Every structure is written in structure tokens, then in C-alpha cells.
Amino acid sequence: MKMTRIFSGKGIRHSLNFLNGFVLAAILAAGAQAGVEAHMLDVGTKAPDFSLVSNKGDTVRLSNYRGKNHVVLVFYPGDQTPGCTKQLCSIRDDYADFGAKGAVVFGINPANAESHAKFVAKQHYQFPLLVDENKTVAKLYGADGIMVQRTVYVIDKTGIIVFARRGMPSDAEILASIIADQK
């Protein structure tokens, strides 16, 4: 059939690859013009409450930690990826320092609980990973986009944001923002 012949071969594949690349570039350019990078929440503002399911299947509610613990939220793009593994393993290795300051840590991204459970088991994280399937919490915290933007927040025991940073801040920077309880 002549129709099949027209749509087979290298020419059409190259045209489709070019078209796909062009469409992706147009989407990214439109997003950049529209300010795709979401606005982060400011230090000194009250952290929005949320509830998410963890890799263990339990529900984690931010407000349950108010008055009890400082909370570190680590928004990251994907499980089992080199940058995310590096960032979360660093926190894992310094986890005792976070605990000594009365802080709990939660990793957050859109992956499902099964993906998170495999990631936790492989890397031996002592902290839960939360499922934000529709990026609802990422949007609340200005960490949404085409992919979740790597963002770290520290929330004090009163529910106020005391640290907000994009990228991979060092554990020392994160820990410095947490004021340990007076004994």
C-alpha cells in the first residue's frame, strides 16, 4: 500500500524527532516566559499544613509535629536518581545530628509508596519518604514545575519557616538553622 510506504523509513522518523524536539522546546520556552519556577515560601511565614501518605502507608500530618519537633522537608525530583540519592544519603549519614536538635526529616516527591519503599530499603534511610502524587504539597511550598524542584525547608516547632533554599544546601547549613532546645 502506498500510504504505508510514505510513512515508513528514516525521513519520517527524523521529521517526527525534530517535531518532538521543537514541541518540547516551545513548551519549555513558554513555561520560562510564564515564570515556571514557582515562588518559594519566605522565611518567617507560617508553613502550610498538609497530610501525605508515607512509604510505610501511614499518614503524616505536618501539624502533628507542632510544639514537638522541628521539621525538615526535602522536595526532590525522583527516587533512585544520582542527585537525589546523594542528597538524601548525606542527610541519612548526618541523621543523628538532626535528631539531636529535635528535628524530623521527610523526603517528598510524586513517586508512589512502592517506589519510595524500595528507595528507603536500598539506601537505609531512617526517615520516611512521602507520596505527593499530584504535586499538591509541592505547589503549596513553591517546589512544583515540570519536575519537582529540589527545595529544602526547615519549619520550627511553632510552625514557622526558618530555612528555605533551592538546590542541595549542605547539612551544616540546614542544621545551623535549627535552634536546639535549651536543657
φ/ψ region of 139 (left if φ > 0, alpha if ψ in -120 to 50, else beta) reads: alpha
**Beta strands per DSSP E along 110-182:** 129-131, 151-155, 161-166
Residue of 22, 141, 5, 14 whose CA lies nearest to 74: 141
Residues annotated catalytic, as ranges? 84
Dist. CA 129–CA 70, nearest whole Å: 17
Residue of 77, 73, 87 whose CA lies nearest to 141: 73
DSSP of 15-26, one letter per residue?
HHHHHHHHHHHH
